[in-house]
Amino acid sequence: MTMTVQIWWVILCIVAVLNIAAWIISATVLAHGCDHFFSTARHQQRRLLLWLSAAYVAGCAFRSFLPRIDLERICLMQSGLSNMVMGRSVATVAELCFIGQCALLLHQAGKATDNRFVVLVSLLLIPIILVAEGSSWYAILSTNYFGHVLENSLWTFCAVLLLASFISLWPHSKHRHRHFLAAMMVFALGYIAFMISIDVPMYWSRWSADLMAGTKYLSLTQGFLDASQDCVVSFDWEIWHEEIPWMTLYFTVAVWVSISLAHVPGWIDKSTGKHADSTPDE
């Protein structure tokens, strides 16, 4: 079973390299579609989506090469970059970039279709995830699993809001947008199902077990010092088997979604007949 963890890690690393290549191809395709892609104001939002995706792809690649289990301080390779503070910092930036992509696209779509609900959701996503990131940091520093329960519950809530937004946009969308909306609905439904059936219950059960055992948690200062130390290397299947499903999906499917978001067809503002990301003179 130790070999199983090693094989899984190798596969993650290979996929990470392929994901970086996919992002490069994505950027090339977008640039090829417009000679002035990197200088024209008309494509400012598209470029921003692309670079936000780059940060997310890079963050997931980093975490694929150096997987870790935060509260247990366990990793697969000892290095100066393997401590929990470094890993969580990279994850925080990457996750904020991903939700930033979602917020940008929703805001554009909501404005173009005059859908106030969608615009409201686009404005709520980043603040909600900021709270989720704070909860994750609390969990890692204090070693209290309740922080992860709250974090993943908030991500699930955001997925519900996204799903509701996609449904709300459907009647006002053209055929070229409906392929995207349908794919994102499937992604959101799968994500919600996974989170409420596997991920959140996993952290809830760990938190409940700690409560029953009377576990003493670290202060934030103690936790920061502890999380900054070298991790413990382990390939034990019993330790990793609950982490492998979410990490695998996180570093594969979620990355592919992020890369694809820069290719979503632009929304046409029904009041002006122009792309919602156009400047007034274009």
pLDDT digits (tens, 9 = 90+) for 143-172: 999 999 999 999 999 999 999 999 999 888
CA neighbours within 13 Å on the CB side: how many for 212?
6
> Phi, psi at residue 134, to the nearest 5°?
-60, -40
Least confident of 110-119, 166-175, 263-272: 263-272
Beta bridge partners of 74: 69, 232
Tokens of residue 82, six digits: 């393997």
Helices 84-113, 44-65: crossing angle, 10 deg rounding: 150
> Which of 36-40, 113-117, 122-126 reaches the highest mean pLDDT?
122-126
Buried b (16+ CB within 10 A) or exposed e, 143-155: bbbbbbbbbbbbb
> Phi, psi at residue 72, to the nearest 5°?
-85, -10
* 264: pLDDT strictly greater than 90: no
pLDDT digits (tens, 9 = 90+) for 183-241: 999 999 999 999 999 999 999 999 999 999 999 999 999 999 999 998 999 999 999 99
- Average pLDDT in the chain: 89
* 57: pLDDT strictly greater than 60: yes
pLDDT digits (tens, 9 = 90+) for 94-103: 999 999 999 9
**Residue 11 confidence (pLDDT):** 96
Distance CA 84, CA 57 (A): 19
CA distances 215 to 68, 134, 143, Å, are 22, 22, 10
Distance CA 149, CA 144 (A): 10
